[in-house]
Amino acid sequence: MKIVASIQVRMGSTRFPGKAMYEISSKPLLGYLISRLKKSKLLDDIVVATSTNKENDVIENYCKKNNISCYRGDEEDVLSRILESLEYMNATIGVEVFGDCPLIDPIVVDYIINEFLNDINDLDFVGNDLKTTFPPGMEVEVFKLSTLKDSNDRVNDKKIREHGTLFIRQNPNLYKIKNIVAPEKWNYPELELEVDTKEDIIVISEIFNYFQNNDSFGIDDIIKFLINNPKINNINKNVPRRWKMIRGE
């Protein structure tokens, strides 16, 4: 069994182009994300999955410079890109972590992986994003590679393939799926920790700058910081989130 995290990331964001390589204290957001994932105790490896579009050369170059595996696939067909990147790494268990979540906590990653491993014979997919209870920006999905392959064979709709594991999440009749509800201490779905817009960048920057001398800060520290700093917390409170349409929230 080989557990590999695949990070979907590209430069062509419509609301904040180039956000993956946006630097805070001379380090890109992608770099922060990778550094945090490396602290996971259960991941065997990490692969950055970007597209073949030339604008993403900067992402591949960053990965090469920092000895991070990088796979390049279709720009729009995210489902095939995830699958191919994990096959490239010889994974048997895939962990989906999104490129716009630079604050991801490795403890949360391991928490979701453990939930999957504890019931691996009876589950195909586990995630904490079927219903939002964790702070957005802490999304993690874990699945059997065989399940992802099956979904890849079944779905032809480009709009569904664009959202990676969406077909699995929408078909509990075909796959054994489970949503992980956040423990009470992490149940803060109103805290926005993802990066979609400039407002998000301001909030993320404030967090990283506050914890600049503590590279092991996690979800508990972030929640406490935002609760104690409502002005910062409110900066991106009203940003429209596209994922709400997919999750029906």
pTM for the full model? Answer: 0.94
pLDDT at residue 74, rounded to an integer: 95
Strand partners, 69: 47
Q: Is the pLDDT of residue 245 over 80?
A: no
Minimum mean pLDDT among 78-87, 101-110, 206-215: which range?
206-215
So what's the pLDDT on residue 137? 96
Q: What is the pLDDT of residue 101?
A: 96
pLDDT at 249: 55
155 Cβ partners below 8 Å, 6+ apart?
Answer: 79, 161, 167
Give the dihedral sign, CA 82/69/123/112.
Answer: negative
Contact (CB, 8 A) for 185 and 135: no
> Mean pLDDT throughout 57-84?
97
Query: Residue 112's pLDDT band (boundaries 50, 70, 90)?
Result: very high
Residue 248 has pLDDT above 80, yes or no: no
Q: Which of the two residues, 235 and 13, has the higher pLDDT score?
A: 235
pLDDT of residue 10: 94
Which has more pLDDT, 15 or 46?
Answer: 46
Alpha helix (H) ranges present in the chain?
29-37, 57-65, 78-88, 106-117, 145-154, 158-161, 166-169, 198-210, 219-228, 230-233, 243-247
d(CA 78, CA 164): 5
Query: How many C-beta atoms lie closer than 10 Å to residue 5's C-beta?
Result: 30
Question: Is 80 exceeded by the pLDDT of residue 243?
Answer: no
- Whole-number Å distance between alpha carbons of 133 and 184: 9
How confident is the model at residue 247, as a pLDDT? 64
- Model confidence pLDDT, tens digit, residues 17-34: 899 999 999 999 999 999
Q: Across all residues in the chain, what is the average pLDDT?
A: 95
The predicted-structure confidence for 98-110, as pLDDT tens digits, reads as follows: 999 999 999 999 9
- Per-residue pLDDT at 190 exceeds 90: yes
88: number of CA atoms within 13 Å, CB side?
17
pLDDT (0 to 100) of residue 153:
98
